[in-house]
Amino acid sequence: MRFMMIVKPSRDWENGKKPNPEQVAAVMKYKEELKKAGVLVDVAALQRGTESTRIRFSGGKPLITDGPFAETRELIGGYWLIQVKSKAEAIEWAKRAPQSCGSGEDAQLELRQVYELDEFELAQEKTA
């Protein structure tokens, strides 16, 4: 089972403040723990919302909006993609994740299971 741990950005991050060396070291240590355990699939930090563009579709036409965006809770700051045996195991890994892009602010991760292609195809067949 693959799970994505979606990192919500802090206001500090969105305002251009870089993580301190201790935060960076904690992230690198966590990354190595995931690799050593054989569960890390991918990890990435994303550019700030000021650098992003949203494409919304209305009436079949794309509407383009460039950042910044007012609500940081609507943004994604990065992700960890892991492959584990269960949701419980994914939760345990997520609980160990370092606070990586805020200094003293509360941090938030969202944990979501990734549909495997065969699961998605089976779900589509059941609705057909």
Upstream peptide bond of 98 is cis (omega within 30 degrees of 0): no
Number of domains composing the chain = 1
What is the DSSP code (8-state) at residue 96? T
Reported confidence tier of residue 28, pLDDT bands at 50, 70, 90: very high
pTM of the complete model: 0.80
pLDDT surpasses 70 at 80: yes
The domain of 80 spans 2-127
CB atoms within 10 A of CB 29: 11
pLDDT digit string (tens) for 36-49? 999 999 999 898 88
pLDDT surpasses 60 at 102: no
> What distance in Å separates the CA atoms of residue 100 and residue 108, rounded to the nearest whole number?
10
> HSE of 25 in the Cβ direction (CA atoms, 13 Å)?
3
Q: In CATH, what number is assigned to the domain containing residue 51?
A: 3.30.70.1060
